[in-house]
Amino acid sequence: MIPRYRRATKVGSGKPPSTTVSGTTAHDRHMTTFRAHGFVRTSTDRQAFDRQVDALLAAGVDREHIVIEAGVSGQATKRQGLDELMLPVRPGDAVLVAELSRLGRSTRQVLELVSRLTEAGCTVRSLQPSLVFDGSPVSTLLLTLLAAVAELEVETLRGSSHSRV
């Protein structure tokens, strides 16, 4: 059930996050554990987020590492879910989203968020389309193009719905 409030919630049993390791990576000749974190956003309280959660679970994200932001516009400047997502993220971790548009609706907003994550040593992975953004020049170019196309789609839909009124 979608919460009636706009507060970010974690999916799971309410227990503290498990110590399950989602993967390992080599840094400075030491093995460092990393986790996969999932982020889900719906723009309205009426939208279901099950499809996004199912996709993240299928991609290997532990249920307790999924943050849900229900009923929050991607254009909102203050997003508690993103703040909650950033708290446990550490270098080597991956942040997964079902679709790139779940991170935000404006190109600038998506670029800033992904930049914050990659500068913190994380990768960002979109499941649809299946892409990994790691802060490299090529991934930044691709991210910019995809975010701009997504923003154009939203503005085009908004414009056509206003013209029908």
- Name the residues annotated as catalytic: 43
Contact 105, 32 (CB under 8 A): no
| Beta-bridge partner residues of 40 | 68
Number of other residues whose CB lies within 10 A of the CB of residue 97:
23
Based on the number of CB atoms within 10 Å of its own CB, is 9 exposed (0-12), middle (13-18) or buried (19 or more)? middle
For residues 92 and 34, the answer to whether their CB atoms sit within 8 Å is: yes
